[in-house]
Chain A
Amino acid sequence: EIVMTQSPATLSVSPGERATLSCRASQSVRTNLAWYQQKPGQAPRLLIYGASTRATGLPVRFSGSGSGTEFTLTISSLQSEDLATYYCQQYNAWPRTFGQGTKVEIK
Chain B
Amino acid sequence: QVQLVQSGAEVKKPGASVKVSCKASGYTFTDYYMHWVRQAPGQGFEWMGRINLNSGDTNRAQKFQGRISMTRDTSISTAYMELSGLESDDSAVYFCVRAVLIGNWYDYWGQGTLVTVSS
Contact = CB atoms under 8 A, between A and B. Distances in A.
Given A34-B106, A46-B105, A55-B107, A97 B47 contact: yes
Contacts, number: 50
A97 B103 CA distance: 15
A87 B59 CA distance: 23
A97 B110 CA distance: 18
In this complex, the interface size class of chain B, counting residues with CB under 8 Å from chain A, is 20 to 34
Interface residues of A, number: 21
Interface of B: 35, 37, 44-47, 59, 61-62, 95, 99, 103-112
A49 interface: yes
Contacts of A46: 105-108
Nearest to A100: B44
Contact of A45 (B45, B62, B109): B109
Contacts of A94: 59
Given A91-B104, A101-B44, A43 B109 contact: yes
Given A34-B106, A89-B106, A98-B45, 4 more contacts: A43-B111, A50-B105, A95-B61, A98-B46
A99 B44 contact: yes
13 contacts: A32-B103, A34-B105, A43-B109, A43-B112, A44-B109, A46-B105, A49-B103, A87-B45, A91-B104, A94-B59, A95-B61, A98-B45, A101-B44
A99 B108 CA distance: 19
Q: Which 8 A-B pairs have the closest CB atoms?
A: A49-B105, A43-B109, A96-B47, A98-B45, A34-B105, A91-B104, A100-B44, A95-B61
A36 interface: yes
B62 to A, nearest CB: 7
B112 to A, nearest CB: 6
